[in-house]
Structure 1
Amino acid sequence: MLNQPERKPDYFIQIPPEVLFETKLSAGAKLFYGEVLFLTYTYGFCSQKNAYFAANHRVSLRTVENWIKELKALNLIKVELIRKQNKEVELRKIFALAKIDFSKMPSLNQISVQAEASPPARITKPSQKQKKPYGASQNVFLSDNEMGELLKNHTKEQTEKAIELYSEWKEDKGANPRSDFNSMQWALREIEKPAPITKSGRRLTAVQESGCDEVSEETLANLPF
Structure 2
Amino acid sequence: MSLPRFIQGSATRNPYVFYHWRYIDIFVYFSHHTVTIPPVCWTNAAHRNGVPVLGTFITEWTDGQKLCEAFLAGGPEAYRAVAEQLARIAQHYRFDGWLVNIENTLSPVAVGNLPPFLRHLTAQVHGAVPGGLVIWYDSVLQNGALRWQNELTEENRVFFDACDGLFTNYNWKEEHLERTRALAGPRHTDVYVSGHQRGALSSL
Common topology (TM > 0.5): no
Classify the TM-score, shorter chain: under 0.3
Of Structure 1 and Structure 2, which has the larger fraction of its residues in helix?
1
User: Which of the pair has more CA radius of gyration?
Assistant: 1
Greater RCO between the two (CA within 8 Å, min separation 6)?
Answer: 2
Of Structure 1 and Structure 2, which has the larger fraction of its residues in strand?
2
Could you tell me the TM-score, scaled by structure 2's length? 0.22
